[in-house]
Amino acid sequence: MPLYSYFAKSLKGEEKSGTIEAKNLQQLAATLKEQGFVLINAEPKKEKKEFNFPVLSRGVSLTERLMFTRNLQVMIFSGLPLPKAIHTLACQSKNKKFKETLLKVEEEITKGKNFSDSLKQYPNIFSDLFQNMIKVGEETGGLDKVLKILSRQMEREHDLQSKIKGALMYPAVIVFTMIGIGILMLIMVVPKLAQTFQELQIELPITTKIIIGIGTFLSKNWFLFLIVIAALVFLFLLISKTKRGKKAIDYTVLKIPVISPLVKKTNSAYTIRTLSSLIASGVPILKSLEITAGTLGNVYYSTAILEAAEKVRKGDKLSSALAPYTKIYPSLVLQMLEVGEETGETSSILAKLADFFEEDIGNDTKNLASIIEPVLMLVIGAVIGFFAISMIQPMYSMLGSI
């Protein structure tokens, strides 16, 4: 929430100033009114943005969070006190960071703090979705039921990620292996052939000269090549952290012919699965939409959900609020949403629709591997053919001149 610098007065003439978080000026005025003050002036306070360089560090994986949630649900259902359950799971965790976090959460709960409030200090581990569902569970007294819904949500998310990673693993290994072999050939083999050609004083074709030039450069400046590659990766990470860069990357991904349908189905599945879990837990629809927008990785999907939330706030149905976004959300999503709103079974219908999309994604990932494989073979064959012809052609020319 934005931070406001404000100045207020009470009816008795007392003055008050400072900074406070509020969604908007109306909420700020209402908060001060409850304290007996009238808002006189308020301005948004600009926060200093710190630039964080991307670093590699071990976080808490989805699998670790899933196991924690599932085991915690069983312990709570069995009647074990919450602090004791968290302490037990912390001791079992092999991840040092996660273990320390859970022990701190246990300490906060022991001091009288709510479980959901304790989790807010660790947004990188426990998402808004997790925090809000836990809060609902505390308020309704059904923490074990909410944890069960969360476990199912995370299981589905894990399955979806596994399917996509599995589909992309094979082509990634092939591509990186061929790049590695190509670089080794350029560094170790090409310079020796170049020396032979030079000794024989053979006239070289332009393609051969290009390959020899690249090979000679890499053999002499391999360290510079590594620095350039590292710099390009670092630059890509920096660009992906900016709004424009992230938007450009997300737009490109949505336009790639083979990848685009899979990206659309994946984001649709994440959207409806998250919405279903939140609504089933009792989170209000507007809050559910805001949380869901925060969980989506693609800028265009999160923007669509936030804009739809504003329309719902004004009285529109969610199905009609999402109607302008048929380019990213399949019409089936809108139709099923409309059915859910008419029948009052939005959560269960969305859950079934999410199952359908996830099964469809599984089939698409299998097909993706079968499509990518022959394309890779053609590309690799073309590269190897170009390399072979470029290096063998001078030899044939030499033999022909004898």
167, 151: one domain: no
Is it the case that residue 295 has pLDDT exceeding 70?
yes
Which of 111, 136, 155 finishes a domain? 155
Alpha carbon distance 125, 103 (integer Å): 14
The residue with tokens 């050939």 is: 185
148, 197: one domain: no
Alpha carbon distance 128, 295 (integer Å): 8
Which of 155, 180, 204 finishes a domain? 155
Is it the case that residue 80 has pLDDT exceeding 70?
yes
Which DSSP state fits 239? H
172, 150: one domain: no
Q: What pLDDT shows up at residue 258?
A: 75
What is the pLDDT confidence band of residue 397, given thresholds at 50, 70 and 90? low
Q: Are 394 and 202 in contact (CB under 8 A)?
A: yes
Q: Is residue 54 part of a domain?
A: no
34, 117: one domain: no
Domain of 129: which CATH number? Answer: 1.20.81.30
Q: Are 154 and 66 in contact (CB under 8 A)?
A: yes
Alpha carbon distance 3, 55 (integer Å): 28
Which residue in 102, 82, 105, 3 sits closest to 48, CA to CA? 3
355, 276: one domain: yes
Does the pTM surpass 0.85? The reply is: no
287, 386: one domain: yes
What is the pLDDT confidence band of residue 103, given thresholds at 50, 70 and 90? very high
Is the Cα torsion angle 292, 298, 302, 307 positive or negative in sign? negative
Per-residue pLDDT, averaged over 342-361, amounts to 86
Q: Is residue 107 part of a domain?
A: yes
| Each residue's pLDDT tens digit, 249-260 | 888 888 887 788
| Each residue's pLDDT tens digit, 184-223 | 888 887 888 778 777 777 777 788 888 888 888 888 887 8
| Each residue's pLDDT tens digit, 297-320 | 888 998 999 999 999 888 888 888
Q: What pLDDT shows up at residue 49?
A: 41
Q: Is residue 10 part of a domain?
A: yes
Q: Is residue 58 part of a domain?
A: no
In the chain, % of residues over pLDDT 70: 89
Q: Are 156 and 354 in contact (CB under 8 A)?
A: yes
Is it the case that residue 50 has pLDDT exceeding 50?
no
Is it the case that residue 100 has pLDDT exceeding 80?
yes
| Each residue's pLDDT tens digit, 220-263 | 887 888 898 899 999 988 888 888 888 898 888 888 877 888 88
Give first-to-last CA distance, the chain, whole Å.
81
281, 371: one domain: yes
189, 259: one domain: yes
Q: Are 294 and 281 in contact (CB under 8 A)?
A: no
Q: What DSSP letter does each residue of 355-399 carry, written as one string?
A: HHHHHHHHHHHHHHHHHHHHHHHHHHHHHHHHHHHHHHHHHHHHH
Q: Is residue 51 part of a domain?
A: no
Q: What DSSP letter does each residue of 151-181 carry, written as one string?
A: HHHHHHHHHHHHHHHHHHHHHHHHHHHHHHH
Q: What pLDDT shows up at residue 204?
A: 78
Alpha carbon distance 296, 376 (integer Å): 30
Is it the case that residue 46 has pLDDT exceeding 60?
no
Which of 155, 187, 221 finishes a domain? 155
The residue with tokens 């509020």 is: 22
| Each residue's pLDDT tens digit, 62-76 | 888 889 988 998 888
Geometric angle at alpha carbon 317, from 314 and 322, rounded to 5°: 100
Q: What pLDDT shows up at residue 234?
A: 92
Q: Is residue 57 part of a domain?
A: no
Tell me the CA distances in angstroms from 359 to 160, 326, 329, 339, one per residue in order.
9, 21, 17, 21
What is the pLDDT confidence band of residue 402, given thresholds at 50, 70 and 90? low
Amino acid at 232: L
147, 171: one domain: no
33, 137: one domain: no
| Each residue's pLDDT tens digit, 142-162 | 888 888 888 888 888 888 778
14, 112: one domain: no
- Between 367 and 265, whose confidence is greater? 265
133, 38: one domain: no
Is it the case that residue 51 has pLDDT exceeding 50?
no
Domain that holds residue 143: 64-155
Q: Is residue 34 part of a domain?
A: yes
Tell me the CA distances in angstroms from 269 to 244, 356, 375, one per residue in order.
25, 9, 28
How many domains, the chain?
Answer: 3
Geometric angle at alpha carbon 69, from 67 and 72, rounded to 5°: 105
